[in-house]
Amino acid sequence: MARRSAVAWAAFGPLLWGCALGLQGGMLYPQESRSRERKELDGLWSFRADFSDNRRRGFEEQWYRRPLRESGPTLDMPVPSSFNDISQDWRLRHFVGWVWYEREVILPERWTQDLHTRVVLRIGSAHSYAIVWVNGVDTLEHEGGYLPFEADISNLVQVGPLPSRLRITIAINNTLTPTTLPPGTIQYMNDTSKYPKGYFVQNTYFDFFNYAGLQRSVLLYTTPTTYIDDITVTTGVEQDSGLVNYQISVKGSNLFELEARLLDAENKVVANGTGTQGQLKVPGASLWWPYLMHERPAYLYSLEIRGKGFDWPLLVKDFNLLRWLGANAFRTSHYPYAEEVLQMCDRHGIVVIDECPGVGLALPQFFNNVSLHHHMRVMEEVVRRDKNHPAVVMWSVANEPASHLESAGYYLKMVIAHTKALDPSRPVTFVSNSNYAADKGAPYVDVICLNSYYSWYHDYGHLELIQLQLATQFENWYKKYQKPIIQSEYGAETIAGFHQDPPLMFTEEYQKSLLEQYHLGLDQKRRKYVVGELIWNFADFMTEQSLTRVLGNKKGIFTRQRQPKSAAFLLRERYWKIANETRYPHSVAKSQCLENSPFT
């Protein structure tokens, strides 16, 4: 919607439907204001992995009861970060089970003495199951990484004279089972001639390393005891006016007066209203529109970026690279990214396909009722957190599920219907790599997203086949469903610095040539029903070890250190060309081209 209203959201925090279905309460992004303070707990925490055979020593000895250092040695662990890559101990890198984090905090006196203040502990994400104790009291549990959860801890901190020291203990279990999202299996190796007793491995069915821990910020914030718990915004346009419909949920008291003010980028009030719901009208609104995209056609061209963990330098670097490329979109493959990433997208006009952690749904046993229920709950949490970001244009409920299975068809139908009920305003999709004739989930999506790796995972080296196979793919799907299609993945493994001409697999020349062939095929359909192309991948990334991965997945057009491979320059030229064409479809007059385009 309007850029102006996007700014007003900053004043409200992220906004949210009443979520009548399922979840109670909101999950507003904590913002400082006249009545709210926030205290970040980023920095060094005490840490211990529970290496005991059953991984349960921490519970048996009640490590949460006393400072962690009193029950054994601890490590320094930065938060936010994944614990896997921090130490030199290979056992920690591959650890599966419970790890323990602890941090002591001193609270300001006004937080502990003023009974009109609510103190909330918020955890940005903990992968994958977390239990939280405050001063040894069991306070909060949450299932699922990648999404925030919080608890009102006022009654634990406002207990008599100055209990200003707070001990927060968080136990996190990264084990993936058939009912977690993503799912996984634990396999015990019982052949004692090959494996020690009790030996097990964690199997996963996705292509990224299962990094875990407190990967996003943990913070404390305050609100008054009568407070805004939730805000829901839907937007519209009437001639040149922007319409902002709001619904506000207040908790703590029925006695309040509420005034809503919509601020523009300069913090000027552009509209106001009273009461818990209403419509704000902004005459002459400048509408939120993706950076580098013309209204018709709205074409997404981009790649996948990173967002499991969170750190500002990498985030800003990645956005600089997106801008350098002229990209206008990405999918949050394969889990919801940190909230700060979406805020950057709102500000920079980058369109987001917001994907939940429904990845690796590869086995029939993963399509069961418990998983379905949890998957729906995860979608509630995703929609609750992200629905008011203008950048989010679509929900993706899964990546490459085994959608040829009957059970997957029912499962996807239910998750998609639930997501649509949670947010009727946005299209819903899942990303398929099934055959068009076999896919049982496609009937329920609004947009068809397809991953294909022609001349990579088959027909090795035969780049000349790509255009034919791509055309067949598009025509088959379009004939069957008559729905818009996005090529949501395509690409080739490429080791930076490997060169060969004529191109051979794994070289920079091969990646470039493969992309060129895809682009010729995409251009055939681009002005018809293909509405987006998202190359796999933005940057190289870490995976589990396997024979097909050399220190991770190397399909990035940037290395993991964010340096360009040759294909980055090819994409840059293409994206800016499309940007200029789609912004100025009827004219190529130089003066009208994007001012900052390097290719005008």
SS3 196: coil
395 neighbors 412 (Cβ within 8 angstroms): no
The two tokens of residue 102 are 């602890």
* CA dist list (Å): 251 to 24, 37, 114, 230, 283: 12, 18, 18, 9, 32
| Cα(469)–Cα(490) distance, integer angstroms | 13
Q: What is the DSSP letter of 141?
A: E
**Which residue is catalytic, options 339, 381, 400, 533?**
400
| Cα(302)–Cα(534) distance, integer angstroms | 5
Q: Is the peptide bond before 297 cis (omega within 30 degrees of 0)?
A: yes
Which residue among 139, 494, 553, 582 contacts ligand BDP (CB under 6 A)?
Answer: 553
Sheet containing 137-143: which strands, arranged edge to edge? 75-79, 43-49, 98-106, 165-173, 129-134, 137-143
- For residue 292, the minimal CB distance to ligand BDP (Å) is 25
Which residue among 389, 525, 526, 555 contacts ligand BDP (CB under 6 A)?
Answer: 555
Residue placing its CB nearer to ligand BDP in the complex, 77 or 449: 449
Build a one-symbol-per-residue string for 62-101: x at contacts with ligand BDP by CB under 6 A, - elsewhere.
Answer: ----------------------------------------
- For residue 286, the minimal CB distance to ligand BDP (Å) is 37
Residue placing its CB nearer to ligand BDP in the complex, 117 or 433: 433
- For residue 117, the minimal CB distance to ligand BDP (Å) is 45
- For residue 488, the minimal CB distance to ligand BDP (Å) is 8
- For residue 335, the minimal CB distance to ligand BDP (Å) is 11
Residue placing its CB nearer to ligand BDP in the complex, 48 or 127: 127
Torsion angle in degrees (nearest 10) through CA of 394, 397, 400, 403: -120
Build a one-symbol-per-residue string for 430-449: x at contacts with ligand BDP by CB under 6 A, - elsewhere.
Answer: ---x----------------
Residue placing its CB nearer to ligand BDP in the complex, 139 or 487: 487
Name which of residues 523 to 542 contact ligand BDP (CB under 6 A).
536
Concerning whether 32 is annotated as a catalytic residue, the answer is no
Residue ranges in 326-426 assigned as alpha helix (H): 339-348, 369-386, 406-422
Build a one-symbol-per-residue string for 173-212: x at contacts with ligand BDP by CB under 6 A, - elsewhere.
Answer: ----------------------------------x-----
Q: C-alpha angle 265/230/32, rounded to 5°?
A: 50
Name which of residues 448 to 477 contact ligand BDP (CB under 6 A).
451
Which residue among 399, 429, 511, 580 contacts ligand BDP (CB under 6 A)?
Answer: 399
318 near ligand BDP, judged by CB under 6 A: no
- For residue 312, the minimal CB distance to ligand BDP (Å) is 25
Q: What is the DSSP letter of 366?
A: G
* CA dist list (Å): 510 to 463, 465, 489, 505, 566: 9, 14, 17, 6, 10
Residue placing its CB nearer to ligand BDP in the complex, 153 or 485: 485
Residues in the chain: 600
SS3 393: strand
- For residue 330, the minimal CB distance to ligand BDP (Å) is 14
Which residue among 50, 346, 380, 400 contacts ligand BDP (CB under 6 A)?
Answer: 400
| Cα(401)–Cα(405) distance, integer angstroms | 9
How many CA atoms lie less than 13 Å away from 193 in the CB half-sphere? 0
Name which of residues 325 to 344 contact ligand BDP (CB under 6 A).
334
Residue placing its CB nearer to ligand BDP in the complex, 79 or 448: 448
Q: Which chain residues interact with ligand BDP by CB under 6 A?
A: 207, 334, 399-400, 433, 451, 489, 536, 553, 555
Q: Please list the active-site residues.
A: 400
